[in-house]
A and B are shown apart, each in its own frame.
Chain A
Amino acid sequence: DVKVTQSSRYLVKRTGEKVFLECVQDMDHENMFWYRQDPGLGLRLIYFSYDVKMKEKGDIPEGYSVSREKKERFSLILESASTNQTSMYLCASSLGDGTYNSPLHFGNGTRLTVT
């Protein structure tokens, strides 16, 4: 069974801090994603990566960056946290079949609060 592990379940950070959210998957998936989940807005894609050191912007990349130095690890970085980045962050991975039609496997999420 695919396992996607996010390093923290809950985080509280102060405005202006640099924040790292870590995600590791154990199924050798090529694709990895970072989503943000807010009530009434569904899941919105922040960034995704289809290979090591490759990244592409999603729908809401502003204020975020990502890093993928190894295939199994995908990090989301908030360069200078702001209160409007308080949210649930979900990491996901999927097989790289070239179509993005393979199922997403999600982590348990990190609930970030920025005060």
Chain B
Amino acid sequence: GENVEQHPSTLSVQEGDSAVIKCTYSDSASNYFPWYKQELGKRPQLIIDIRSNVGEKKDQRIAVTLNKTAKHFSLHITETQPEDSAVYFCAANRIRNTGKLIFGQGTTLQVKP
């Protein structure tokens, strides 16, 4: 069935460094790829999303890139700060299954001051 693989499962960086989280998806018809951030004890919240008609999208220190041919997409966080520490989830929609989102396994990012 359709799935989304997310790597790494944990990531530790020094404050100010960049962090990259990668996801691959299996449904070649997927056309919507959101990223959610979940701080400890809080709800997941959308931080950025990308649609298949663009290859990259930026929002301040956060960017997402999409490679449709390879079926993978990545989250890039530059100049990391301690408040970036959280669990990050990628997701892709499943066109053949009424478009519902399928999530990756999550990446726990720790930014060390």
Contact = CB atoms under 8 A, between A and B. Distances in A.
Nearest to A44: B103
B93 A100 contact: yes
B42 A108 contact: yes
Nearest to A50: B98
Interface stretch (A13-21, A35-43, A66-74, A76-84): A35-43
B54 to A, nearest CB: 13
A58 B44 CA distance: 19
Interface residues of A, number: 22
Given A40-B9, A40-B105, 13 more contacts: A4-B43, A42-B4, A42-B103, A42-B106, A43-B44, A43-B91, A45-B100, A48-B100, A99-B32, A99-B93, A104-B46, A106-B43, A106-B45
Given A42-B103, A48-B100, A56-B98, A103 B34 contact: yes
Contacts of B25: none
Contacts of B102: 45, 59
B51 A101 contact: yes
Contact of A43 (B32, B99, B103): B103
Top 6 A-B residue pairs of the complex, sorted by shortest distance between their CB atoms: A100-B99, A106-B43, A101-B32, A43-B103, A42-B103, A103-B46
Interface string B11-43: 000000000000000000001101010000011
B63 interface: no
A109 B38 CA distance: 12
A58 B91 CA distance: 15
Interface string A24-60: 0000000000010000111111001000000010110
Most chain A CB within a 10 A radius of its CB, from B4, B46, B89, B100? B100
Interface string A72-98: 000000000000000000100000000
B32 A90 contact: no
Nearest to A48: B100
A99 B51 CA distance: 12
Contact of A100 (B9, B98, B106): B98
